[in-house]
Chains A and B, each alone.
Chain A
Amino acid sequence: MVVYSLYILNKAAGLIYQRDFNEGLRKLSSNDYLVLSGTFHAVHAIASRISPVPSSSGIEVLETETFRLQCFQTLTGTKFLLISEPRQQGSDAILRRIYELYADYVIKNPFYQIEMPVRCDLFDRHLGAYIKSL
């Protein structure tokens, strides 16, 4: 079980949280991270529109040879993207747990302004502990 990194996008496609969990991943420039998240947001929106199935949820999983990207969209439009190794199982459950942590340590934090970048020590700490425990 290797989880590479986590992205959290707000409903306006802004990247509010990005964290790599493994050493040795090539760092992108901060602008590239924004481009990446913006592109995914757009593709996700298009996918949900052009889907033959009515009320499609858009892209949920993207599988490639080198990684697997799982997307979890909350009812409020926040997206959680988890990038893991290709044969990762149960990414969906991991994302739900991360959503719980987000709801606890970010949303309930009085110093967090909604839709703004996440800077909460407790969230970092608990997220790190959870990913390590996998």
Chain B
Amino acid sequence: MSKLPTPSRASSDKSSSHPGFAVRSSATSSSLASRRATVYDRNMNRRAPDLALSTFAFLFSEMVQYSQKNVKGVQEMENRLSAYGYHVGQRVLELATVREIKNAKRETRVLGLLQFINTTIWKAIFGKVADALEKSKDQEDEYMIIDNNPVANSYISVPKELSSLDCASFQAGVIEAVMDGCQFPAKITAHSVPTELYPLKTVFLVKLDPLVIEREKYMR
């Protein structure tokens, strides 16, 4: 009888080296970690130190590879990248508004909002302002945000067979989320316009919803 517990203990020792057991032990350690300070305990106004560009580049590279799987065309892939950016934009808008609370106001005009995206949002995510903001000459409902060196594209060379793809669609998704969040529904597409000096130059074409144009007329 007294000998019985011994083999059972030995078997439990053996199981501790088993990978299945290791998974359980790591689960308990992660529940320990969750008791430590979380992102919600941190001061919201303090800016986190800037992240290494390489970290973003590797993560984004994986995101692009993932979004390449089972897609039918370039359009669908851009839509996927844009959808990732949309999630970022929703959160960044919220955070930027909280941080800018001193001089925060609700943007009611298209131009004001685009300026806000051009400067505050761009700075919050990419640490620089976008290079230009232009209004389309022939289309009343189109604006263009121009970035000579979009961060998402920093290390990406698009192969020739996908030449119409612009991975900065991710950033277009960010803009779309911010505009949606401010009640300015719009469709944003990214178009790469390489120049000799800026091979990565991207134009984000903002096509406003007719509803916004109509509202804008009333406010004049």
Contact = CB atoms under 8 A, between A and B. Distances in A.
B79 interface: no
B157 A108 contact: no
A63 interface: no
Interface in A78-123: 104-105, 108-111, 119-123
A45 B156 CA distance: 34
Given A121-B199, A122-B199, A125-B199, A111 B155 contact: no
Contact of A109 (B68, B157, B162, B199): B157
B159 A111 contact: yes
Interface in B60-93: 60-62, 64-65, 68
A25 to B, nearest CB: 25
B54 interface: yes
Interface residues of A, number: 12
B58 A108 contact: yes
Given A109-B61, A110-B65, A122 B159 contact: no
A120 B61 CA distance: 14
B151 interface: no
B110 interface: no
Interface of B: 54, 57-58, 60-62, 64-65, 68, 155-159, 162, 167, 199
Interface of A: 104-105, 108-111, 119-123, 125
> Sorted from nearest, which 7 A-B pairs have the closest CB atoms?
A110-B64, A108-B155, A120-B157, A110-B61, A121-B157, A108-B57, A122-B157
